[in-house]
């Protein structure tokens, strides 16, 4: 990575380390009202026995992990990962947790049957680079499943999202104006289906490595 990309990644890590103690509380209401059922929908589409979750955060997806799969989960924030480790131990979740940056995955090519991310590529400094790494470690024919919020197609709402994005990103981490569907295609993955979940902003993206 360039020096500028390294600085951007370090800044993102600091933001997520800062909000880690409050992260579950901050999203508690929307998690119960919407996100939880979307997570269940996403994990119901997972194929294969070797699964990678990128951006595990505090472990919000743990309740939806398939019981018979070998799951590895990564995050670049040590404080988010610390909370995920505690949650995995408490909930007796079988998962291999590692601190790692999705922009530089320390896995061999073609290592996983499915790669999953939920609200991750809104925060990755170079999302296309991260998605190319996801493609690299996914086996040929394997699936990539993403739950993301993206820039609205509505011009007025998109303008407002772009205007608010610097403040939102600096305070709580995620960028709210990413074009993640387009970024998935740019990475070389084949976008197979995009499901609009709410307001044209929340999307379930299904892609495959061909």
Give residue 6's pLDDT band: very low, low, confident or very high (50, 70, 90).
confident
pLDDT at 109 over 90: yes
Give dist(CA 87, CA 184) in Å, integer. Answer: 30
Q: Quote the pLDDT of residue 2.
A: 82
pLDDT at 170 over 90: no
Q: What is the mean pLDDT of residues 198-207?
A: 96
Give residue 173's pLDDT band: very low, low, confident or very high (50, 70, 90).
confident
The one-character DSSP state at 196 is: E
Q: Quote the pLDDT of residue 169.
A: 87
Q: What is the mean pLDDT of residues 88-98?
A: 97
Q: Quote the pLDDT of residue 171.
A: 81
Q: What is the mean pLDDT of residues 132-158?
A: 97
Q: Quote the pLDDT of residue 135.
A: 98
Q: Quote the pLDDT of residue 183.
A: 98
CA dist 86 → 17, 19, 71, 177 (Å): 16, 17, 17, 32
**CATH fourth-level superfamily of 3-208:** Vaccinia Virus protein VP39 (3.40.50.150)
More confident residue, 114 or 25: 114
Give dist(CA 1, CA 7) in Å, integer. Answer: 10
Question: What single string gives the DSSP state of each residue in 51-92?
Answer: EEEE--TTTTTGGG--TTSEEEEEES-HHHHHHHHHHHHHHT
pLDDT at 1 over 90: no
Q: What is the mean pLDDT of residues 101-112?
A: 98
pLDDT at 142 over 90: yes
**Domain locations in the chain?**
3-208
- The torsion of the CA quartet 35, 39, 41, 47, rounded to 10 degrees, works out to 170
Q: Quote the pLDDT of residue 5.
A: 85
Q: Quote the pLDDT of residue 178.
A: 97
CB 86 within 8 A of CB 61: no
CB burial of 70-106 (b: ≥16 within 10 Å; e: otherwise) equals: ebbbbbbbebbbbbbeebbeeeebebebeebbbbebe
């Amino acid at each position: 990575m360039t020096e500028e990309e390294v600085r951007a990644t370090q800044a993102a890590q600091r933001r997520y380390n800062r909000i880690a103690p409050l992260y579950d509380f901050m999203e508690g209401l929307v998690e119960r009202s919407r996100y939880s059922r979307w997570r269940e929908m996403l994990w119901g589409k997972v194929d294969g026995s070797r699964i990678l979750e990128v951006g595990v955060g505090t472990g919000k997806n743990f309740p939806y992990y398939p019981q018979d799969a070998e799951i590895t989960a990564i995050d670049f924030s040590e404080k988010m990962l610390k909370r995920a480790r505690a949650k995995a131990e408490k909930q007796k979740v079988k998962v291999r947790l590692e601190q790692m940056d999705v922009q530089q995955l320390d896995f061999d090519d073609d290592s996983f049957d499915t790669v999953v991310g939920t609200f991750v590529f809104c925060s990755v400094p170079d999302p296309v680079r991260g998605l190319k790494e996801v493609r690299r470690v996914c086996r040929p024919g394997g699936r990539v499943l993403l739950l993301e919020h993206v820039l609205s197609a509505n011009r007025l709402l998109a303008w407002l999202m772009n205007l608010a994005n610097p403040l939102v990103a600096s305070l709580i981490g995620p960028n709210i104006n990413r074009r993640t569907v387009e970024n998935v295609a740019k990475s070389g993955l084949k976008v197979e289906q995009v499901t609009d979940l709410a307001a044209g902003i929340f999307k379930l993206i299904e892609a495959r490595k061909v």
